[in-house]
Amino acid sequence: MSPILPNAAKVRVLIVDDSIVVRKILSDTLSASTDPAIEVVSSAHDGKIALAKIPLCNPDLITLDIEMPVMNGLETLVQVRKLYPKLPVIMFSTLTERGAAATLDALSLGASDYATKPSNTGSPAAAIDRVREELIPKIKALCTFDKLPARTRRPEPMSRAAFPKRSRRIDIVAIGTSTGGPNALAEVFPAIPKNFPVPIVTAQHMPPIFTRLLAERLCSHSQISVEEARGGERLSAGHAWIAPGNFHMTVMRDKMDAVLVINQDPPEHSCRPAVDVLFRSVAANFGSGTLAVVMTGMGSDGVEGAKLIREAGGEVIVQDEASSVVWGMPGLTYASGLADAVYPLRQLGQEIVRRVLQSRALAPPLQPRSQAV
């Protein structure tokens, strides 16, 4: 849980949206929060006004609509990044194809995160509840650590447990990520060569539509093929799959092959897809032949799964704090003593390739495991 800050250190939020209804919902949501760590300091109905208000109200974070008159959200974001490169910005978009595409554009332009506008909730109270559940944790994750004393920011690692020492080759790479993940994946995937000898499976916390568009964008800039999983695909070398929004993704053994399975079991860590679900299945089916990568993201998803992978003899590496938008998932994996190593984002791709190729040059192939999940 994020720390509750003293009143003097409240997170100051500027709301930017052309809809008076949305501005009121956001303002009411944040004002009605039982957590005293957040306050709305001002609002604006277009980007031009927002840029004028930033030096006046000195916000710690901006929520930014995408479609606005005068100056839209993407145009505003470009200017915000020029003038205030470290100011967190959460895009507020519709759960549509157009909204998803624009959100991915915004993330590539430097937006910190995004939230989806509530639709078909039935009442203003329900809309407020939806926004509160999604938006407030993101605001706190992006801002509260910046307001804490430096000594409290970095979790200290626990003593490393005596996990089995790996003795054979890597046969699968499993990646888990959340906040900041689309941009991080966009740096890692292009570093993977076309002849990469193992499959890659990825759980990225995103809703439907978003994951498909993300896979398409990653594929267009990568040497390997990247797809949103549909279920039933047989894993193959040099190919990556991303779990579809609102579905968990697992792997299971089918004789000598491994097959992707998707399901709508209950969310874990309030997420579907969840990293732990994917990691558990990979640990059960590939064991010590697994390389897990935990990247930027809010919360603790992935820690349990990383522990199972380490217990099975697999490897776990994590993204470092400096290059993470939020060092929640990788930070807690590190603090739990589960990380074999920590790398900056710019090195993650080449390190994945190095570990996989080195392991396969030195170790015998995987034998099918007797049980699968």
Residues classed as catalytic: 178, 205, 301
CA–CA separation, 241 vs 276, rounded Å? 16
Burial class from Cβ neighbours inside 10 Å (0-12, 13-18, 19+) for residue 19 reads middle
Give the pairing type, strands 113-116 and 341-343.
unpaired
**Are 304 and 336 spatial neighbours (Cβ–Cβ below 8 Å)?**
no
The alpha-carbon radius of gyration of the chain (Å, integer) is: 21
The two tokens of residue 92 are 């507020």
Question: Using an 8 Å Cβ cutoff, are 218 and 206 in contact?
Answer: no
The SS3 assignment for 35 reads coil
- Which of these, 146, 255, 241, 155, lies nearest to 199 by C-alpha position? 241
- Considering only CA atoms, which of 202, 212, 183, 217 is closest in space to residue 95? 212
In terms of Cα–Cα distance, which of 243, 237, 206 is closest to 223? 237
Angle, CA of 74, 12 and 108, to the nearest 5° = 25
Helix, strand, or coil (residue 239):
strand
Alpha carbon distance 316, 329 (integer Å): 13
CB atoms within 10 A of CB 28: 17
